[in-house]
Amino acid sequence: MSDTRTTIDVLNIYPVKSCAGIALQEGLLVETGLELDRTWMVVDGDGVFVSQRDLPRMALVQPALKGEEMVLRAPGMLAMHVKLWGSGDPCRVRVWKDEVMACDMGDIAAQWFSDFLGRPLRMVRFNPWNKRLSNRQWTGDIEAEVAFSDGYPLLVVSTASLAELNSRLEQRGLPPVTMARLRPNLVLDGLDAHGEDFLDEITFDTPDGPVRLKLVKPCTRCTVPSVDPATGIQGVEPGDTLAGYRADPRMDGAITFGMNAVIADGIGQVLKVGMQGEASLRFDE
């Protein structure tokens, strides 16, 4: 086991699952990850979540935090204001295989998303009384809670990994892509390309105590990275390029990019851009 230094280059949250993200200068760690990350979700008439996989135009929905509200904007739509801590009628929804209780955000929000995305939809908020857990097969002894994220509290990607991808795109005569396509929570600097694949834990010292993040599972990739966040149009890149070099034997040949992480210690602490951490390496892959 040896250590390496790394720095938080970017912090992101994605308040509404599968919509655009918000870059933060600092973020509070709560039980489910960074505060307000994937707190809201859009569902169909059966309460099943929808995403960019089926509705790529979701990438064009831009959230912003303003006081006690989240403001949602999208092309051709009036801005919609959502109370951060507001609740609504209880409802049951499904995200992947998990069924959980949520709060319906009302008819105005439902109409807004239905109008923009062109099918009947509703917006829901995660009910904090739920206890939705990450897969213990990967988290081991850590009971990691999640809100509406796919499966884990945090996604970690390095700047060098994106640089490697863009280098390969350039070699094929293709334009570069931005980190927005990969939707990480923490972007780390100071690692080699895909160095995050081999990290065990990252420890950040904060004024109120240490934060320990444990990287537990490679992030398998679907079609979302091939949605252009500027246009909301589904393409084939960088998916095709990733398929040429990121088939991961740890995940039975699935394409991976970045690592899912859980909070081993530090709930209630604040992570900040520029914060340096000590990362321990593992060599058991």
Q: 138 is written with which tokens? A: 């990967």
Sorted by where each starts, the structural domains of the chain and their CATH numbers stand as 3-281 (2.40.33.20)
Q: Are 10 and 247 in contact (CB under 8 A)?
A: no
CB distance 129 to 84 below 8 Å: no
Degrees (nearest 5) of the Cα angle 281, 21, 279? 10
Report in angstroms the alpha-carbon separations of 275 from 59, 67, 267.
29, 25, 17
Beta partners for residue 209, in sequence order: 206
Between β-strands 40-43 and 122-126, what pairing exists: parallel, antiparallel or unpaired? antiparallel
The residues pairing with 40 across neighbouring beta strands, listed in sequence order, are 16, 125
- Euclidean distance between CA atoms 26 and 269, whole angstroms: 10
List CB contacts of 156: < 8 A, sequence separation 6 or more: 184, 185, 186, 188, 196, 199, 202, 213, 215, 258, 259, 260, 261
Q: What is the DSSP string of 133-197?
A: E--HHHHTT---EESSSSS-SEEEEEHHHHHHHHHHHHHTT-----GGGT--SEEEES--TTGGG
pLDDT digits (tens, 9 = 90+) for 248-280: 999 999 999 999 999 999 999 999 999 999 999
Please name the residues in contact with 138: beta carbons below 8 A apart, sequence gap of 6 or more: 152, 216, 217, 260
Q: What is the pLDDT of residue 285?
A: 46
pLDDT in tens, 57-100: 999 999 999 999 999 999 999 999 999 988 899 999 999 999 99
Please give the Cα distance from 51 to 14 (Å, whole number): 13
Q: How far apart are CA 146 and CA 178, in angstroms?
A: 26
Q: Which two tokens stand for residue 212?
A: 């320990």
Rounded to the nearest 10°, the torsion over CA 16, 17, 23, 29 is 90
Would you say 201 and 278 are in contact if contact means Cβ atoms under 8 Å apart?
no
pTM metric for this prediction: 0.95
- Intervals of the chain under pLDDT 50: 1, 285
Q: Which whole-number Å values give the CA distances from 17 to 45, 123, 181, 253, in the listed order?
A: 17, 10, 14, 26
Q: What pLDDT score was predicted for residue 92? A: 97
Element (H, E) at 273: none
List phi, psi (to 5°) of 38: 50, 40
Write the single-letter amino acid at 15.
Answer: P
Q: 50 and 121 in contact (C-beta within 8 Å)?
A: yes
How high is the pLDDT of residue 234? Answer: 96
